[in-house]
Chains A and B, each alone.
Chain A
Amino acid sequence: MFDWLQLLSDPNARWILLGSMLLGIGGGVIGSFAYLRKQALMGDALSHAALPGVCIAFMLSGSKSIGLFLIGAAVAGVAATYGIGFMTRHSRIKPDAALAIVLSVFFGLGIVLLTRIQHSGSGNQSGLDKFLFGQAASMVRSDVITMAVISAVLIGACALLFKEFKLLSFDPGFARGVGYPTVLLDQLVMLLLVVAVVAGIQAVGVVLMAALLITPAVSARYWTEKLGVMVVLSGLFGALSGIAGTWISASGNNLPTGPLTVLACTAIFGISVVAAPKRGIVAKRVIRAMARSRLARESETERLRTERGEQAL
């Protein structure tokens, strides 16, 4: 009972909690645009593709600075999006296969580089494998500050470009018609996805970062029909699961943060599926039962009326 109070009094833990909260918000916000644009699995591909970028950045610099990883992962992510786009536009490969090919080949390359770094045994490499699943407890304050700044920039960009992204999500043809630079905006969404992935690498890890981009957005979609509300809710769900995951991981049992965060997220999703108004299972059952009883009542009155009519005759 007193454990978590103690956790809050530790300044480092407070920073980490703040960082994962901001990360959850960022992932949830950009994730909802990706979901509405039917590119939910893009986040999956990009987070796997970030691994070789991170490894190359480490091999070139020899240091574990999150700024350099950001650059490496961003370059790898842009290469991945370009590869997927090239394949779908210029060959008979379908988008889903293109996504899977880029994801697995980049990840394979990442594993090759990672094992090479581990075998070469340059003392500083320990902990690089934590990037696969994330270990929030291993973050130091400067990492958290970088992560928080990245997430804040991400949220700010989405807030500023809200109108543009909204139009792009619902009617890209119209957006092009009224003169928005849709190609540029499209690439900006991809870039922001890459940024979110990079911010999450240390806390959640590359393998499960996709969940933070998809699950909060899908959960939020259950509760509302309005984009603004959905983005806010999705950010909120992301923040909640970030806090829950980090908290459980930090309170001692040394489980990796990423999977715990994802499970917290999935729990919120489960609640949404069951309990959301209008779209949830319970609400649907209630609506159906009400409709059925109204129908029964109406047919009953109808029957009575015809009977009475027959008697009058």
Chain B
Amino acid sequence: MSTFWIILTGALVAASCGIVGCFLVLRKMAMIGDAISHSVLPGIVIAFLLSGSRDSLFMLLGAAALGLVTVFLIQWLHRSGVQSDASIGVVFTALFAVGVILVSLYTRDIDLDLDCVLYGEIAYVPWNTIEIGGTDIGPKAVWGIGLALLLIVLIVGAFFKQFKLCAFDPALAAAVGIPVALFHYLLMGLVSVSTVASFESVGAILVVGMLVVPPATAYLLTDSLSRMIGYSALVGCGSAVAGYYVARVLDASISGSMVCVAGAMFLLALLLSPKHGVLVRQWKQRRFARERSA
């Protein structure tokens, strides 16, 4: 049974990150995902210190707030003349450093393990369960991530047209009256939510893998946004399942293995994707050259 819960958690994380990650990859903001996944750490720790519990709601709020602060700071620095990638680097390293120091300052008093926050311990998920009316309804993490996924699916589904236009042509979106800035911050909020929902299982650092690698794989496989989101979620879930068994065989970190499997899938798509694969294109060119010469 615990195997089932672990794989379910991994798949839910992969699906929620895979959906929001598509928009990050399309808007060329993949590194903002990296930045947010690092800088939610102080938000999580502060929420934990203030509330004194590992109640997911407080952590969710703390992390979402810090995610928005990160985006705001990055944009402010960029507007005042710093290159955008450098402003990302300055902001997230500073916030992450604050988080690590807070964790190591209070790590003796509280049960928030640094390793657990950073690269996740999905193996402990099945033991932390919720009970309602005396019956065990499953691990807390599954409910948390499930709710996050539901929220993401609802918001992206409701505003799909707006998100799509903002991703491909922000100028046109602004011209037809879509509040581009609002949707930008909404997207960033969703990234923060999926990050914090996953940090317990995948860890703050490896969330970026789930945010970027499956969407990039899907990006190589299709040209339609809705299909890209579907493929991305599928690739993410597939790597969660396969990663679990790889980790069992190797006796190593489960979340690390999940990202590695996702990386392997990306490599396959990069080389063999029917439309954009590097090898496939070479074969096509060679066949074309042969046909011409024949």
CA distance A263 to B100 in the complex (A): 11
Tell me whether B90 and A218 are in contact (CB under 8 A).
Answer: yes
Please pick, from A93, A104, A256, the residue contacting B219 in the complex, using a CB distance under 8 A: A93
Tell me whether B119 and A40 are in contact (CB under 8 A).
Answer: no
Tell me whether B252 and A259 are in contact (CB under 8 A).
Answer: no
Tell me whether B260 and A108 are in contact (CB under 8 A).
Answer: yes
Within 8 A of B (CB), among A32-55: 35, 38-41, 43-44
Please tell me if B173 contacts chain A, counting CB pairs below 8 Å: no
A101 partner residues in chain B, CB cutoff 8 A: 30, 212-213, 216, 263, 266
Tell me whether A108 and B209 are in contact (CB under 8 A).
Answer: yes
CA distance A100 to B88 in the complex (A): 13
Tell me whether A111 and B253 are in contact (CB under 8 A).
Answer: yes
A104 partner residues in chain B, CB cutoff 8 A: 34, 205-206, 208-209, 212-213, 259, 263
Please tell me if B194 contacts chain A, counting CB pairs below 8 Å: no
CA distance A218 to B91 in the complex (A): 11
Tell me whether A214 and B208 are in contact (CB under 8 A).
Answer: no
Pick out which of these stretches binds chain B: A59-67, A84-92, A191-199: A84-92
Tell me whether B278 and A91 are in contact (CB under 8 A).
Answer: yes
Please pick, from B82, B89, B263, the residue contacting A210 in the complex, using a CB distance under 8 A: B89
Within 8 A of A (CB), among B22-40: 25, 28-31, 33-34
Tell me whether A119 and B83 are in contact (CB under 8 A).
Answer: no
CA distance A242 to B97 in the complex (A): 14
B81 partner residues in chain A, CB cutoff 8 A: 279
**Interface size range on A against B:** 35 or more
Residue picked from B93, B266, B276, most chain A C-beta under 10 Å: B93
Please pick, from B118, B208, B251, B260, the residue contacting A103 in the complex, using a CB distance under 8 A: B208
Please tell me if B86 contacts chain A, counting CB pairs below 8 Å: yes
Q: Distance in Å from the Cβ of A253 to the closest Cβ of chain B?
A: 8
Please tell me if B75 contacts chain A, counting CB pairs below 8 Å: no
Residue picked from B34, B250, B251, most chain A C-beta under 10 Å: B34
Tell me whether A259 and B262 are in contact (CB under 8 A).
Answer: no
Please pick, from A108, A116, A132, A221, the residue contacting B263 in the complex, using a CB distance under 8 A: A108
Instruction: State whether A111 and B97 are in contact (beta carbons under 8 Å apart), knowing that A87-B270, A103-B34 are contacts in the complex.
Output: no
A interface secondary structure, majority = helix
Tell me whether A112 and B276 are in contact (CB under 8 A).
Answer: no
Instruction: State whether A113 and B90 are in contact (beta carbons under 8 Å apart), knowing that A41-B31, A256-B104, A266-B97 are contacts in the complex.
Output: no
B213 partner residues in chain A, CB cutoff 8 A: 101, 104-105
Tell me whether B250 and A112 are in contact (CB under 8 A).
Answer: yes
A93 partner residues in chain B, CB cutoff 8 A: 216, 219-220, 270
Tell me whether A100 and B31 are in contact (CB under 8 A).
Answer: yes
Tell me whether B105 and A255 are in contact (CB under 8 A).
Answer: yes
Within 8 A of A (CB), among B49-104: 80-83, 85-90, 93-94, 96-98, 100-101, 104
Tell me whether B205 and A207 are in contact (CB under 8 A).
Answer: yes
CA distance A105 to B247 in the complex (A): 15
CA distance A218 to B257 in the complex (A): 36
Residue picked from A87, A103, A104, A273, most chain B C-beta under 10 Å: A104
- Cβ contacts A102-121/B at 8 Å (1 or 0 each): 01110111111111100110
B interface secondary structure, majority = helix
Q: Distance in Å from the Cβ of A242 to the closest Cβ of chain B?
A: 14
Tell me whether A112 and B98 are in contact (CB under 8 A).
Answer: no
Tell me whether A108 and B206 are in contact (CB under 8 A).
Answer: yes
Tell me whether B206 and A208 are in contact (CB under 8 A).
Answer: no
Q: Distance in Å from the Cβ of A65 to the closest Cβ of chain B?
A: 24
Q: Distance in Å from the Cβ of B223 to the closest Cβ of chain A?
A: 10
- Cβ contacts A184-228/B at 8 Å (1 or 0 each): 000000000000000000000001101100110110010000000
Tell me whether B252 and A218 are in contact (CB under 8 A).
Answer: no
Please tell me if B256 contacts chain A, counting CB pairs below 8 Å: yes
Instruction: State whether A259 and B119 are in contact (beta carbons under 8 Å apart), knowing that A97-B25, A100-B208, A104-B259 are contacts in the complex.
Output: no
Tell me whether A133 and B100 are in contact (CB under 8 A).
Answer: yes
CA distance A269 to B86 in the complex (A): 12
| Residue in chain A with minimal CB distance to B87 | A218
Within 8 A of A (CB), among B237-278: 247, 250-253, 255-260, 262-263, 266, 270, 276, 278
CA distance A91 to B216 in the complex (A): 11
Tell me whether B101 and A259 are in contact (CB under 8 A).
Answer: yes
CA distance A206 to B149 in the complex (A): 31
Tell me whether B104 and A108 are in contact (CB under 8 A).
Answer: no
Please tell me if A136 contacts chain B, counting CB pairs below 8 Å: no
Q: List 27 A-B contacts (CB under 8 A).
A: A40-B89, A44-B89, A91-B220, A91-B276, A93-B270, A97-B25, A97-B28, A97-B30, A99-B31, A100-B211, A101-B266, A104-B206, A104-B213, A107-B259, A108-B258, A108-B263, A111-B205, A111-B256, A114-B253, A132-B118, A207-B205, A208-B97, A208-B100, A256-B101, A259-B104, A260-B97, A273-B80
The 9 A-B residue pairs with the shortest CB-CB distance, nearest first, are A108-B259, A104-B209, A105-B263, A211-B93, A111-B256, A259-B97, A214-B89, A262-B97, A112-B256
Known: A101-B266, A115-B256, A210-B89. 12 other contacts (CB 8 A): A38-B83, A41-B85, A93-B216, A94-B28, A96-B30, A101-B213, A104-B208, A105-B262, A116-B250, A207-B205, A208-B100, A211-B93
